[in-house]
A and B are shown apart, each in its own frame.
Chain A
């Protein structure tokens, strides 16, 4: 905006402000009504949904799938969309930081003096698209399961082992292909090339902490344990 546009805005605003009503009692009344509604909604949600408390945090478990608060679903989902490890930092830090910088600098690159949403179609469209993208990512993040699926092609004989690995929470700490988290455990993508089958089984039974032992799985269901070892040793 140049000096003339600024001056014109201030003049117009002065006229419109003169036409307005005093803050007290008119605005106070509206704000008060809205505040009451907010309080009612908070209390209604409290009564309807309560405040559940899950089981106590257990840092040694691996079967638990992390879920953030719903308002972080869009960031979470962004992370799931970007899978190649070299690009992960783009999803975790790059895109959010870029969006934030754009948001802060908005008044400096949008210098159009027009304020009506229909008279600045680019800004309005960009806003609607951003909201749409965030809503889409939030919904996807909400319905998407957790990292309990391993998205890779294996021969049918290895499928049962893949299912066991997926449901055992390995992906919470390990990477298998492009699935799972890159830490704290080492990637398992080529574990079969690093370790012979017996060594994999030994590690599963006597792992390095904080990884939990799979000896209970072996006692309860030796077949699943063997399938898991077969699947892991096939990764090379």
Chain B
């Protein structure tokens, strides 16, 4: 009871505990006599029991889940594992993932209104921009989120490169990261066509033509992207499927693998700490 601030404490049960009646209708309380006081005490005890049981709920839920999944040790290992002394450069990777999540959320809302066909795509984007509640805002967040994610992924790669973090034992995670970079650029390319305005249409025509200039597989790749020899409605639904199903699915899976390896191998320490350490050891040896 002492945990509660004064005004909340001064209820009927509390008054009985204090030994002096509180609140306005003193006469009424006295008139009800001893029986009422006993009843009040019982109600108070009951309320306390319930409150204590309520505090136990989340703990018992966690215990229930743990008993059935055995996830307790895993979560403890995940949350309380040690991370070497780091700096703000080490937040770039999680920031990239956050940008990806932001793209996923805004993308889902855009997909609710977007229609992937040559005749309807432009009008549906117009509808999103002009009529849908916060539509222009969500589309803007998706558009600028792409730019932010692209900058973050390059910065994250730069950090990994200059800190030598791609070296043993993290080579495989570097390769996964490069594949994620390529997939991010594929997202940029396929998403660019979807608004289907002049800018996006002609940029995509040129991009697909560039693909077709590649040796051997180039023309086939271009035909695959277009869904034929010409730009048609098939092209736009193809780009849409690649943009919102194929590549995001691949990226989510690869981000999962990337994180698994980060947790398993540990976050790198800044290279200068390693250098200090080596110097200390060298001194000791002398």
| Residues in chain A within 8 A of chain B (CB atoms) | 1, 5-6, 9-10, 12-13, 15-24, 26-27, 30-31, 33-35, 37-39, 41-43, 45-47, 49-51, 53-59, 61, 64-72, 75, 79, 88-89, 92-93, 100, 103-104, 106-108, 110, 113-117, 119-120, 123-124, 127, 131, 172, 181-183
Can you sample 25 A-B contacts with CB below 8 Å?
Answer: A13-B84, A21-B83, A22-B80, A34-B92, A35-B94, A38-B98, A38-B148, A39-B102, A42-B99, A46-B140, A53-B125, A53-B195, A54-B195, A55-B198, A75-B210, A89-B213, A93-B210, A104-B175, A106-B161, A107-B170, A107-B171, A110-B166, A115-B165, A131-B158, A183-B209
**A29: min CB distance to chain B, Å:** 10
Stretch at the interface among B31-39, B55-63, B184-192: B184-192
Closest 3 CB pairs of A and B: A115-B164, A57-B201, A46-B140
CB pair B148 A13 closer than 8 Å: no
Given contacts A21-B83, A53-B195, A68-B206, contact A45 B271 (CB under 8 A): no
CB pair A18 B82 closer than 8 Å: yes
CB pair A104 B178 closer than 8 Å: yes
CB pair B122 A57 closer than 8 Å: yes
- Known contacts A22-B81, A39-B98; 20 further A-B pairs (Cβ under 8 A): A9-B168, A12-B274, A16-B274, A20-B84, A31-B95, A34-B91, A38-B98, A38-B99, A42-B148, A45-B144, A46-B140, A49-B144, A50-B140, A66-B206, A92-B210, A92-B213, A100-B178, A106-B174, A115-B271, A181-B206
A-B contact count (CB 8 A): 237
Residues of A contacting B: mostly: helix
Chain B 235-286 interface residues, beta-carbon cutoff 8 Å to A: 266-269, 271-275, 277-278
CB pair A116 B98 closer than 8 Å: no
Given contacts A72-B188, A103-B178, A106-B174, contact A117 B129 (CB under 8 A): no
Residues of B contacting A: mostly: helix
In the complex, what distance in Å separates the CA atom of A46 from the CA atom of B137? 7
CB pair A69 B188 closer than 8 Å: yes
Nearest A-chain residue to B79, judged by Cβ: A24
Q: Which of A5, A66, A88, A110 contacts B202 (CB 8 A)?
A: A66
Q: Which of B79, B167, B200, B201 contacts A59 (CB 8 A)?
A: B201
Residues on the A chain within 8 Å of B274, using CB? 12, 16, 115-116
Q: Which of B148, B166, B196 contacts A107 (CB 8 A)?
A: B166
